[in-house]
Amino acid sequence: MPANRTVIDDSGVVRCSWGAEPEIYRRYHDDEWGRPVCSDNGLLEKLCLEGFQSGLSWLTILRKRDAFRAAFADFDPVTVAGFDEPDVERLLGDAGIVRHRGKIESTINNARRCVELIDEFGGLAAFVAGYRPEAAVRPTTLTWDWLAQNSTTAESTALAKELKRRGWSYVGPTTVYAFMQAVGLVNDHLDTCFARAPTQRAQAEWDAY
């Protein structure tokens, strides 16, 4: 595997190696990962699914994502915040999702905490945008070696700490950094990846916050 961890497909497209295959990964890498997600539903979904992924592969979560969305009312914060013990039992019986009581209860708890943040900041995006790193602290050339040594950052650590202070769970610094990568608070496509430039342009959407 090349030292920069990119691969070239048969049509000459260069992409991060993790996003080359299978197809569900390729679609996620090419069209979604790193692109801004600013809706309350979308941000809650990404953060909760990163929590569900703990101890599992992201491929497992991607394959179950439609089932997660159906089970958790498209991650509408107000709806999920209203879930109670019968809902927990229902979800524990849903073979389409990861049936882990702690993670299910965490999602309901986090939806309640999310509603609190929406009330305070007007939206979850306005809150998390405050932890978007300044360009000056980001590497000028993004390499695999840098990513391998930076599964957390000062910003993800600070955001995780504040979320925990506010009562969120399954939000450690590594989980939070993966969330930041996924929703476009950072652009971690490698420099030679075809998706890096369009992702960088798209991330200007966060400037509004």
- pLDDT, one tens digit per residue, over 155-197 is 999 999 999 999 999 999 999 999 999 999 999 999 999 999 9
Task: Provide φ and ψ at 185, rounded to 5°.
Answer: -75, -20
Annotated active-site residue in 18, 33, 45, 50: 50
28 is catalytic: yes
Annotated active-site residue in 25, 32, 58, 206: 58
Residue with tokens 């996620």: 28
- pLDDT, one tens digit per residue, over 99-123 is 999 999 999 999 999 999 999 999 9
Q: Which residues does residue 6 pair with via DSSP β-bridges, in sequence order?
A: 16
DSSP for residue 134 = P
The pTM (predicted TM-score) of the whole model is: 0.94
Pairing between β-strand 6-8 and β-strand 14-16 as defined by DSSP bridges: antiparallel
Domain boundaries defined on the chain = 6-129+139-208
Q: Architecture of 6-129+139-208 per CATH?
A: Orthogonal Bundle (1.10)
50 is catalytic: yes
Evaluate if residue 58 carries a pLDDT over 70. yes
Q: Which residues does residue 8 pair with via DSSP β-bridges, in sequence order?
A: 14
> Do the Cβ atoms of 152 and 174 come closer than 8 Å?
yes
Annotated active-site residue in 28, 32, 105, 205: 28
